[in-house]
Amino acid sequence: MSSPEPGDPLTGGPIVVEPAALEALAAELDALAAELARDAADVLSVAPTFPVALGGEAGWAPGATATSWASLEEVLVDRTRALAGTLVGAAAAYRAEDAALSGHMGRGRPARDRVPR
């Protein structure tokens, strides 16, 4: 097996992470989760009206479908919020690592080898 070539797009260069971009994406995901949560609540509130409005068997299927749809949306809300939290955590970790690395720059070299800034 050969090693990957530097220009290979599948294994290529370094990964660049912009914490601000991760935080912006997390905020968008939080907004999406809030929209989904409102929609799930709306769908769940109308689900019981189908059997009443359509009567008996004809109303049972739409009511059950609406309830299932609301449950699916609630799962999406939970997963979307979890992903947003993961992105916020990743941004914080990258910021902390960057701060730690910048705090160590220039250390460990004798004073005579340091380059003035």
- pLDDT of 39 strictly over 60: yes
pLDDT in tens, 60-116: 999 999 999 999 999 999 999 999 999 999 999 999 998 888 887 666 555 555 555
33 part of a folded domain: yes
pLDDT value at residue 1: 43
Percent of the chain clearing pLDDT 70 (strictly above)? 79
10 part of a folded domain: no
32 part of a folded domain: yes
Give the DSSP letter string of 35-95.
Answer: HHHHHHHHHHHHTTHHHHHH-HHHHHHHHHHHHHHHHHHHHHHHHHHHHHHHHHHHHHHHH
8 part of a folded domain: no
Confidence class for position 36, pLDDT limits 50, 70, 90: very high
Number of domains in the chain: 1
Say whether pTM exceeds 0.85: no
pLDDT value at residue 90: 95
Could you list the residue range(s) of the whole structural domain that residue 34 is in?
A: 19-100
pLDDT value at residue 15: 78
